[in-house]
Amino acid sequence: MTDPIAIQPSELDQLPDRDPEETAEWQASLDAVAKAAGPHRAAYLMRRTLERAEGNGIALPKLLETDYVNTIPTAAEPSAPGDEEMERKITAWNRWNAAAMVTRGSKYGVGGHIATFASAAWLYETGFNHFFKGKEADGSGDQLYIQGHASPGIYARAFLDGRLDEQQLDNFRRESGGNGLPSYPHPRRLPWLWEFPTVSMGLGPLSAIYQARFNRYLTARGIKDVSESHVWAFLGDGEMDEPESTAALALASREGLDNLTFVINCNLQRLDGPVRANFKIVQELEAQFRGAGWNVIKSLWGNAWDELFRLDTTGALVRRLREVPDAQVQTYQTRDAAYIRQDFFGKDPALVEMAKLLSDDKILECFHFSRGGHEARKVYAAYKAAVEFKGAPTVILAQTVKGHTLGEGFASKNANHQMKKLTVDEFKTMRDLLELPIKDSDFVDGVVPYGHPGADSPEVRYLQERRAALGGPAPARRVHPVAPLPAPAEKAFASFDKGSGTQNVATTMAFVRLIKDLVRDKETGKRWVPIVPDEARTFGMESLFPSLGIYSPKGQTYEPVDRDQLMYYKEAQNGQILNEGITEAGSMADFIAASTAYATHGEAMIPFYIFYSMFGWQRTADQMWQLGDQLGRGFLVGATAGRTTLTGEGLQHADGHSPVIAATNPAALSYDPAFAYEVATIVRDGIRRMYGEAAPGEDPNVFYYLTVYNEPLPQPAKPSAQGIDEGIVKGLSRFNTAESAGLSPVANAPRIQLLGSGTAIHWVLKAQRMLAEEWGVSADVWSATSWTELRRDALEADAGLLRGEERVPYVRQALHGAEGPVLAVSDYMRQVPDQIAQWVEQDWSSLGADGFGLSDTREGARRHFGVDAESVVVAALAQLARRGEVKATAVKEAREKYGL
């Protein structure tokens, strides 16, 4: 017997056909043209016919849209397995407890959302009972991106299956006591349940696409076969306004990600009102997704509408449904049958006659309750069609009512997103509607009770049996007990200790050279995931193309134009590099998927994402918070860093602030290394901490941000001083003294401590020599690899003092006893080095590149910002003059001498 889901919608359709014979003749004509002249001629004639129809004003749906009806007609729906009545009871308990949890929490003023889950309950319940694979299933199970505002419903289900208790529900949005529940899906706050943070709207759909893509990448590279894993992203129709929501639709289609399903809850409402008040969001989304190459399934109307479609012998009903704007559909939800008869049916004589055959109850059932997203069988049919469709991702557009089952005070009201509680009477009405065995006496002192049928009840046993059959609880996050990765060979790092001699090497190139060695490591080389947004040649990474290959599911179907060159452009199905084109957002989504593979798939991967530093934290900082929230691990590398190093590019490329933004993220360890050996030392320590043996008290769930520069200069050898590695990792180490640099001018000369980070160290070193040779001042030079880590260490020491713990901040320990004042210099705004000023016991001043960037040479830009060597000398003399250690006239003399 033919599976009804395989029947094409055109063969079994809800649209009436008044003359099947004529229709067959048109179809036969088209078949004849295709056979005689080929499919291209047939397609040409169809396009010309549609153009003529549009030109003549004939009302037809747009080419990328279908009519406002279900994609899968009732007659083609497969029978859903399981016990639908049992699932209805489970859904009723979940609806109740989600509403009760938010209402009970309202007395604390912590907020919460009720209406979203009320509209989407069946979308989740059907998936949990029949589709969402758990962690014990094949591959790694499914990955679920839960709509953030629906979290109360997920907590309610976890309460029903015994994973949460009443106390935890009562601590919804109250986490400080240690037994609470975060407001939204936050893996860092509830790491055993949530996998993916989604409430920063738009990031969920973007991440879901790249997660599905990364699953294919892991399988293609032979890391782990996760071909049975499916990615489900639950989204709101209002959320689709976010540009990130649709930014990667073409990628998903282009790469045939049929392991991905979007479920868009089309309740026609956003936070303040209708999503498309004067238009139709479902039709807009259908056209958008079809245009991008997705398979689109619309589940709009429930079974109650079947009678109306059978009565529609003229097509008037379908036409009317297509023309009514969403805001008016929302109004029908709140009005009586008489209004609907007049406003909806009264616009067309054929509909007037149809309405005469319908009772008021029937009209209200259709317009108030019967939606495709509220009926288990229709949701099941849509999901089954989605997972069985091959060759493209699927989007399900499920129409629902926001606030469904919560009563007339909630359903479709514009304010329902902000409505945080129901009254006792509204709960009792809801109880009766859901047929729950909750007594009036259970409402003690006006407090709504939680409902639970019992741990051994048929509902709970059914729920747990269904989850066991699908591979365990969901959603769930699990960090598999995997052995730490072996440390890469020391040779890869030690090669930078000797410096580059007279060869000029930029720190960007030093990092790339280090990566080239690390990806060759026999133990861990395959774990590296190089990610770059179409700037590999800018960063000198093109040599990795032929050796590692660029990942492409199609491999290389063409002969590359540079095939005769040593570093030719090579794509491969098992390629290791993710070259994303011009999309920092897509590259960050790649990074998030790779950086959390240790939990999602039990496979530790080491991503590094290299990008123009200006286009990282400034453009995608929200995703970097998502990365931290998801407990991602890896290396972000801001290349061509600094405000003055990228010659000629100007304001839009001049990064003077990324370390400031990075410092706000607790999971980001931000470094600004000056020398190649510092880059190697930091990367080695990062691999140890994130993927090897973290030290006691160290959190491995961090990521590193390194700024590297495109200014080729000689790289010095690593100083042999004791504790140099510790200083590099903690953020400050002494590079030299005036004496060790051979620059001690005279006995008892004035002395100053010069702190520089990143490329600024080179201006500082030049200033050190000028101070000695031209002004008789001794200067010691320090490399500040991380102002941020120095500050965090000091903050921890301060917090310890409040607990009675005595600890001196590392920056104070390092500078203890250093003579003279301190002058800190950075290629970033002064706020970056000024982070540590309060913990430095010496007199403090700083120089930085504050303000907007500009196009110029490096020398011109540095003079403009007052951070070049000459400016450092003048600032140092001014600081010493204030202390009376040099003559005040020396400052004026220096300014004139250097033309400042």
Structure confidence by residue, pLDDT tens digits, 323-341:
999 999 999 988 999 999 9
Cβ contact 590:534 at 8 Å:
no
- Tokens 């003229």 sit at which residue? 314
Distances in Å between the alpha carbon of 456 and those of 156, 442, 459, 741, 789? 17, 21, 8, 78, 52
Q: What is the pLDDT of residue 416?
A: 57
Choose from 400-404, 559-563, 716-720, 728-732 the range with maximum mean pLDDT. 728-732
**Region of 512 on the Ramachandran plot (φ > 0 left; ψ -120 to 50 alpha; else beta):** alpha
State how far the Cα of 877 lies from the Cα of 847, in Å rounded to an integer: 13
State how far the Cα of 187 lies from the Cα of 37, in Å rounded to an integer: 58
Tokens of 355: 């309405």
Note the helical H segments in 292-407.
Answer: 306-311, 316-323, 326-332, 337-343, 349-356, 360-364, 376-388
Reply yes or no on whether the pLDDT at 9 is more than 60. Answer: no
> Model confidence at 3, in pLDDT bands (50, 70, 90)?
very low
Reply yes or no on whether the pLDDT at 547 is more than 60. Answer: yes
Average pLDDT of the residues in 92-117: 92
State how far the Cα of 240 lies from the Cα of 281, in Å rounded to an integer: 10
Reply yes or no on whether the pLDDT at 7 is more than 50. Answer: no
Reply yes or no on whether the pLDDT at 778 is more than 70. Answer: yes
Q: What is the pLDDT of residue 649?
A: 83
Average pLDDT of the residues in 841-870: 94
State how far the Cα of 591 lies from the Cα of 235, in Å rounded to an integer: 22
Reply yes or no on whether the pLDDT at 482 is more than 70. Answer: no
Cβ contact 94:450 at 8 Å:
no
Reply yes or no on whether the pLDDT at 2 is more than 60. Answer: no
Reply yes or no on whether the pLDDT at 813 is more than 50. Answer: yes
Tokens of 394: 């699927």
C-alpha 559: how far from chain center: 35
Average pLDDT of the residues in 91-113: 93
Q: What are phi and psi of 798, to 5 degrees?
A: -65, -40
> Model confidence at 8, in pLDDT bands (50, 70, 90)?
very low
The per-residue DSSP string of 681-709 comes to HHHHHHHHHHHS-PPTT--S--EEEEE--
Tokens of 702: 């961090």
Average pLDDT of the residues in 621-649: 94
> Model confidence at 535, in pLDDT bands (50, 70, 90)?
confident
Residues 155, 158, 159: CA angle, nearest 5 degrees = 85
For 131, the 3-state DSSP assignment is: coil
Amino acid at 72: I
- Tokens 């004496």 sit at which residue? 739
CA atoms within 13 A on the CB side of 889: 0
Cβ contact 868:882 at 8 Å:
no
State how far the Cα of 578 lies from the Cα of 532, in Å rounded to an integer: 6
Reply yes or no on whether the pLDDT at 94 is more than 50. Answer: yes
Average pLDDT of the residues in 604-626: 94
Q: What is the pLDDT of residue 883?
A: 95
State how far the Cα of 211 lies from the Cα of 432, in Å rounded to an integer: 42
> Model confidence at 418, in pLDDT bands (50, 70, 90)?
low
Q: String of b and e for 346-364 (b: at least 16 CB within 10 Å)?
A: eebebbeebbeebeeebbb
Give the mean pLDDT of the chain.
Answer: 93
Residues in the chain: 900
Q: What is the pLDDT of residues 699-735, one digit of tens each?
A: 999 999 999 999 999 999 999 888 999 999 999 999 9
End-to-end CA distance of the chain: 89
Reply yes or no on whether the pLDDT at 13 is more than 80. Answer: no
Q: What are phi and psi of 342, to 5 degrees?
A: -75, -50
Residues 208, 213, 215: CA angle, nearest 5 degrees = 95
> Model confidence at 411, in pLDDT bands (50, 70, 90)?
low
